[in-house]
Structure 1
Amino acid sequence: MPATLRRFFVLLLLLLADVCPPLRAQSAAEAQADIVLGRTTFPVNEYFTIGFRLRGAALERYSAFPDIEGFKKSSKSSTTTTRIVGGQTSTELTITQRYAAYGEGEFELKPFTMTVNGLTIRSAGGKLQVQPQPAAAPSPAPGAAPIQGLGLLDKLFGKPKPQEFVEPQDNAFLALVPDKTTVFVGEGVHIGLYFYLTPADQGLLSFYNFGGQLPEILQLLRQRTAWEEPFNEQEIVPETVVAGGKTYLRYRLYEAEYYPLNTQPLTFPEIPLQMVKYRVAKKPEAGLDNRMEGFKTYRTVARTISVKPLPPHPLRDQVPVGDYHLREAINRTSFRTGQAFTYSFRVEGEGNLAALAAPVPQLSAGIEVYGPDTETGITRQAGRVGGTKQFQYRLIVRRPGVLALDSIFSLVFFNPATARYDTLRPEVRPQVKGAASSTAFNARRDDPFYQEMLESADNTLQQRDAYTEVLRYANYILLALGALAVFGWWRSGHRH
């Protein structure tokens, strides 16, 4: 075989070995991987690189490359190196991730780990020094020797150049939206913090560390002269709304109901929110992300809610404010004197139920009232706060006849919808049967023991000397037992 032909076949075999490595199963023990870092000092117009080398196995999977603060991920490259030594073929694969620096300065590459084919590889990180872009090199003089150092890959593919990015205009905004601009003292005003953006802006914006920004936002929303009822935290998901004839995606960031405690206005300053805004490549290239992360801060418009005093009323400083209705319940409608029963005064509606105080009973002779037991249920839904608050009392009536509960319980409130005062009064009028009775004992109204015992107490009248008769019979029994004991002792002594 001619020497030229032999050299051709050798080159062909080497080429096939590079493209189609031998189909030999390699165990996980043969596989090796390590991390390769690029130069840590480089100009701003060049890339920093992180890569990994895999030897002894084909690449199956690998974890994501780390993010570096101050850098934007750019393109990736892969290099395969095949070596034949002593008839043995070894293959080395290198995957490289390029990073473009946003600007000059010193940055920290934190320690990180990656997983390649199930192998965990680690890097201790380091300091990255990004230097200014060097001045353009002067053109070589005629006849001068060419500059050395240009690699073969740069000759073939060209040296990677950083992309130019521009910041497009967006239509997003942050808004603090109240449902009223003027309220009465004690009247609720709903405040919602929303972020709006058009569907076309979804690819340009994303939330940045909202959990870390939320405490500062809540501090700015806090009102010292108002009772705040925050809505339950929920997942931030977009909802489609129409504002000004334009369709937006609205993100509900926070909402609460505020109840002013005095006439001082509710003042909300500008609320800032930092978002990630991407800059796009001026000349997009296939295979690249064509975006660069940046930041933009959006701010709300400052808001002031004026607060009006309630109209004149003898109880103006004590009455609750809201739209309330009464739902009452009683465990029986007919009972006897001295028999305990329960009555529930349940307030339903929209308002600051948490601060609503129990009706104070107006007592008269022959009526005892204990309690109340209180139960509150507050519902926050669709920008409204309402629910129920129940006051359960225990009563004992000593005189027969119709019991007018409206003369005992009542609740005066101010309805901001009508700007008028109103009163909740019971309509239940139970019938009390039996003869008039007197109180057997003077129980403490705040003692829970007596409140429970009154439910099961027997109200049957007893003779005043009933306990004297019981004592007499007890003494007779004790004397009989004593005589029996003496007789037994005497009998046992005579037997011996």
Structure 2
Amino acid sequence: MPFFARLLFFFGLAWVLGQAETVMAQTVTSKAEADIVLGPNSFALSDYYTISFRLRGAPLERYSAFPDLEGFKKSGKLSTTTTRIVNGRTSVELTITQRYAAYDEGEYVVKPFSITVNGQTVRSTGATLTVGPQAPAPAPLVGSNPLQGVGSLDQLFGKPKPQDYVEPKDNAFLLLLPDKTSVYVGEGVHVGLYFYLAPSDQGLLDFHNFPEQLPAILRQLRQRTAWEEPFDEQEILPENVTMGGKPYLRYRLYEAVFYPLNTTPLMFPEVSLQMVKYRLAKKPTEGLDNRLEGYKTYHTNVRLIAVRPLPPHPLRDQVPVGDYRLREAVDRTLFRTGQAFKYTFTIEGEGNLAALNGPGLIARPNLEAYGPDIQQELTRQNGRVGGRKSFVYRLVAQRPGTLPLDSLFQLIVFNPTTAHYDTLRSELKPEVKGPVRTASSFGLHPDDTFYAEAIASADATLQPLDEYRDVRRYANLVLLVLLGVASFGWWLGKKK
């Protein structure tokens, strides 16, 4: 093939690859889907009604507020992340759930509403709810924001008359609160950023451009030596709490669980939050607001969390840390030689499940093992991150007899609560029947039609490792030639 023909060929190939990559990127973007899930229509007064939205195919960037329901009060949110890894392909589904507490029994109508998720509007037709009798529930908290301002004087009445103002002393503070002072490597520590306000100071303070202040605060709280699992919270609502025997309104500004990766201490620096604080007129005038808007900055204390190394163990650097339990299952009750069966090894509990790897598969003669396919569900609620992570294997026994799975699947974990190492080991021992086999009847998963066709038509010819590097080199040469031709044409045109 002539040299220039090869150049044109590789240039065309590079263009086609670029177009294919663009189409794939557009395809991935177009797969983002969101929908709304409503809770049961009938429930007891002591139970919660729930409205959830599910997002698949894209990370959560932003979402609008959940609707306010007449006769109900919002009572906290929780988020659940479900990750599935099947044949190397990963899919993630995020569910954000808003809970509602009913004030009284009776029938209620949820009017049609919509929620905007990542710029996509998702609609619901609503529902009719029936709240049945139950034991009296505690009096619900007031759902409105007590820090809502009433507007500036200039907006309401024009420029105010000259007055003398005083700045009352407030009983408010900003607090960064970890739930532990020391942890093991890999053990989670919950950290929350809260603003506390005395009920009597509700009219003195208001939030000031909080969405603009939050990114700088989060950058200061990031830890380079820890894995962070943040909580998905966008609405800032007051909670009635007691501290030091005094009542406060607490606003949850940010919370996350950090898992240290090494023994470097976690150091949270001082962070600041600017609030609007009103000064009050010495001599209030009827018909005026009698307040003058000002600003006050609140600061947190520096927090240092010590990180302890794990006790001595041969696999200390590879052992997952958490309060875990084992759940296992098989997909059949009769086992035959040469036939595949599914075995599921599920880890449940509280810990850094996202970084947890499956049990190391111990080789065993006359047994074929495939997988695992992985599915993960994370739930963030009440300051805790937990859930489950499942590893699905396909096994094929070639010889009859007892198949002790405890010798195949085991996972050593460290429990920070007891400060001991535990081994999660299978307890199943299926009895395999049938003649000795030399080849299994195991084939591709029936749902894997893509791989069945792709493998059947795949080209087994070896390709050079530097193939794409050569394409890039030839494409650059073509661009240089085209640039030279364009420059020469420009020079000729200018000369004429």
TM-score normalized with structure 1 length: 0.58
* Equivalent AA in structure 1 for residue 153 of structure 2: K
Is 2:225 the counterpart of 1:225? yes
Residue number in structure 1 paired with 2:99: none
Aligned twin of 1:420 = 420
Aligned to 2:367: 367
- Structure 2: distance between partners of 1:206 and 1:257: 28
Specify whether residues 264 and 164 from structure 1 end up closer, same or farther in structure 2 by C-alpha distance, changes over 3 A only: same
Per-residue deviation at 1:439? Answer: 2.1
* Deviation of 1:449 (Å): 7.5
CA separation in 2, counterparts of 1:211 and 1:316? 42
* Larger RCO (alpha carbons 8 Å, 6+ apart): 2
In structure 1, the partner of 2:146 is none
Indicate the residue corresponding to 2:153 in structure 1: 73
Q: Distance in 2 between matches of 1:75 and 1:315?
A: 67
User: Does structure 1 retain, via aligned residues, the 8 Å contact 2:398–2:440?
Assistant: no
SS of equivalent residue, structure 1 residue 317: helix
Return the offset for 1:431: 1.2
Within 5 A, what are the aligned runs for 1:26-425?
Answer: 73=153, 97-100=157-160, 161-425=161-425
Larger radius of gyration: 1
1:436-491: per-residue Cα shift (whole Å, max 9, x none)? 1112699999xx789989xxxxxxxxxxxxxxxxxxxxxxxxxxxxxxxxxxxxxx
| Counterpart contact for 1:375–1:390, Cα < 8 Å | yes
Letter of the 1:389 partner, please give it: K
Deviation at 1:240, TM superposition (A): 0.6
Tell me how far apart the structure 2 counterparts of residues 175 and 420 of structure 1 sit (CA, whole Å): 33
| Runs of 4+, deviation exceeding 3 Å | 440-445, 448-453
Change over 3 Å in CA distance of 1:201–1:440 after alignment to 2: closer
| 1:128 aligned partner | none
Query: 2-side partners of 1:167 and 1:276: how far apart?
Result: 12
Give the conservation status (yes or no) of the 8 Å contact 1:362–1:409.
yes
- Paired residues of 1:189 and 1:259 also in contact (CA < 8 A): yes
1:390-469 aligned within 5 A: 390-439=390-439
Q: Residue 396 of structure 2 contacts residue 440 of structure 2 at CA under 8 Å; is this kept in 1?
A: no
Distance 1:414 1:226 in 2: 18
Separation (CA, whole Å) in 2 of partners of 1:407 and 1:75: 76
Q: Return the offset for 1:234.
A: 3.4
1:292 CA drift (Å): 0.8
Question: Offset of 1:335 from its aligned partner?
Answer: 1.5
Alignment identity in percent?
Answer: 63
Runs of 5+ consecutive residues of structure 2 not aligned to the other structure: 1-150, 454-496
What secondary structure, in the 3-state scheme, does the structure 2 residue paired with 1:200 have? helix
- For 1:407 and 1:304, how far apart are their aligned partners in 2? 43
Structure 1: how far apart are the matches of 2:324 and 2:314?
20
Deviation at 1:435, TM superposition (A): 1.0
Deviation at 1:429, TM superposition (A): 1.3
AA aligned to 2:330 is I
Structure 2 counterpart of 1:146 = none
Deviations 1:225-261 (A, max 9, x none): 0000001123110001110011000000000000000
Cα distance in 2 for partners of 1:342, 1:444 equals 13
Distance 2:398 2:361 in 1: 16
1:287/1:313 CA distance change after superposition, 3 Å? same
SS of residue matched to 2:316 = coil
Query: 2:491 maps to what in 1?
Result: none
Q: Distance in 1 between matches of 2:452 and 2:374?
A: 16
Cα distance in 2 for residues equivalent to 1:210 and 1:382: 23
**8 A Cα contact 1:265 1:305, kept in partner:** yes
Shift of 1:98: 2.1
